[in-house]
Chain A
Amino acid sequence: MEQREIVVIGGGPAGLSAALQAAHSGARVTIIEGEKRLGGQLIKQTHMFFGSHKQHAGTRGIDIATLLENELRALPNVEIILGATVLGYYYEDGALTIEDHEAFRLMIPKRLIVASGASEKFLAFPNNDLPGVYGAGAVQTLMNVYGVKPAQRVLMIGAGNIGLIVSYQLLQAGVEVAAVLEAAPQISGYLVHASKILRLGVPILTRHSIKEALGKHTVEGAIIHRLDDRWQPVPHSEQQITCDTICLAVGLSPLCDLLWQAGCAMQYIAELGGYVALRDEGMQTSVPGIYVAGDAAGVEEASAAMVEGSLAGLSAALSLGYNSPADEELTAELRQQLDDLRAGPGGAKIRSGLEKLHPTADNPKEVT
């Protein structure tokens, strides 16, 4: 049984920021990442980030990953475990079970920060299991991490930020984008992202959806159709699209299995992507000593994930007695950053989701 002070699960923007802050506060930190490198989804974000300079706005996601990793590796009180999967959390004795290169490890952390990210949502339509129906993140991994051309011609489903950004990145990799479909009456992603692909001649079809994928062993095309005001298909509005890949960018769900296992009070909040853990302002869940940050706490932009991570790292370190006179100011500053990031119309969904997040009769566990 290995004893640890603070264990951070997940080496993405939230986990890296949590580990950094906790380590800067003086705690001994262990960060566990399933992939062979740190960075999470940052390693495929070739675009410049929004936000302010505090969240590295204007810097590309890939470079933010490097910045955070270098900063973390320079700290002596940080242990980095790569290529290891946390399998479970056993609340009876507060133990994590970990598969690390085909060996089994048991670890007991004094504090646990869950920054496990999110998984891509799927969409129901005939032939959606054909090879060539890929998640938007998968396409990004292929082209931006491994430099493999993912397709010749893509049909993108979803005009949120991910669908728009990945479409732009596909065009940068020399892939044709046949169209971007959006079931809603308007583009839900940032308009500046939409403008980038519109001027490249990619049509964004709102109130459109995919009816079925075509092909025998792999995708050869798709039938799309228009939707009416009640989201029902408009008869005879079908169009056939030729494409070799159908890319799904229809949202993300928080990966919160470990939080369920730990007995954290959970609540379903559609605006945050699914079930999320109740937590206090310092990102502590209803189970004392367990914190959550980033997409695992509710699907949001990476800039907010980084700030949430810092907040969780700071709170966890503070609770272990690692404090400094500047902590109060830093906590207030981080909360202010989160409020600022969520203040605009784009943050309305997150704000409304977070407002719903509170203990109820079904979720009696008090969050203090």
Chain B
Amino acid sequence: MRLSNHPILTFRRGEKISFFFNGQPLEAYLGETIAASLHAAGIYHLSDSAEKHRARGFFCAIGQCSSCMMLVNGRPNVKTCTTLVKPGMVVESQQGKGQLPLWNNGK
């Protein structure tokens, strides 16, 4: 849920766009981080931990703690709390540690 009236602040939101979370289309505004857009849509459980598969959400929201990392456009370990949402972005819950593409295809 987004705030519209605030006693101190005026929120200037960017253009309304859509992106995907685990295949589901969601609305967002340009200028928001992925984690903020997900939170506004009521999604708090972002990924699962590598070993015990426990639910993971964000913690610091300023790119320091790494609790919010997800798979974004196929790329793992993206800090969604500081990465801005883009139209058509494919955001997925990350299972495990994620694998970076191997240099030179592993050869």
Contact = CB atoms under 8 A, between A and B. Distances in A.
B55 A148 contact: no
Given A131-B44, A133-B57, A255-B64, 4 more contacts: A62-B8, A119-B64, A141-B62, A174-B3
Interface residues of B, number: 35
B101 to A, nearest CB: 14
A101 interface: no
B60 A172 contact: no
B6 interface: yes
Interface of B: 1-4, 6-9, 11, 13, 32-33, 36, 39-40, 44-46, 49, 54-65, 67, 81-82, 84
Contact of B2 (A131, A133, A148, A217): A148
B94 to A, nearest CB: 14
A129 B49 contact: yes
Interface string A146-188: 1111100000000000000000000011100000000000000
A173 B1 contact: no
B6 A120 contact: no
B40 to A, nearest CB: 4
Of A34, A46, A131, chain B has the most CB atoms within 10 Å of the CB of A131
B27 to A, nearest CB: 13
Contacts of A144: 9
Interface in A134-149: 134-135, 137-139, 141-149
Contact of B7 (A134, A150, A172): A172
B55 A218 contact: yes
Nearest to A139: B61
A95 B33 CA distance: 31
A132 B46 CA distance: 11
B9 A138 contact: no
A139 B84 CA distance: 17
Nearest to B48: A217
A366 interface: no
Contact of A137 (B7, B9, B39, B60): B60
Given A137-B61, A141-B61, A148 B46 contact: no
Given A60-B8, A120-B60, A148 B1 contact: yes
A199 interface: no
B3 A149 contact: yes
A182 to B, nearest CB: 21
A122 B64 CA distance: 13
A148 B2 CA distance: 4
Nearest to B33: A146
Interface residues of A, number: 36
Contacts of B61: 134-135, 137-139, 141-142
A173 B45 contact: no
Contacts of A145: 36
Contact of B1 (A34, A35, A149): A149
Contacts of B63: 34-35
Contacts of B32: 146, 148
Contacts of B36: 141-142, 145-146, 148
B6 A138 contact: no
Contact of A142 (B39, B49, B64): B39
Interface in A19-62: 34-36, 46, 60, 62
Given A138-B62, A147-B13, A131 B3 contact: no
B11 A147 contact: yes
Contacts of A131: 44-46, 55-58
B2 A218 contact: no
12 contacts: A35-B62, A62-B8, A130-B57, A131-B55, A134-B61, A135-B59, A135-B60, A146-B11, A146-B40, A148-B32, A148-B39, A149-B1
B3 A148 contact: yes
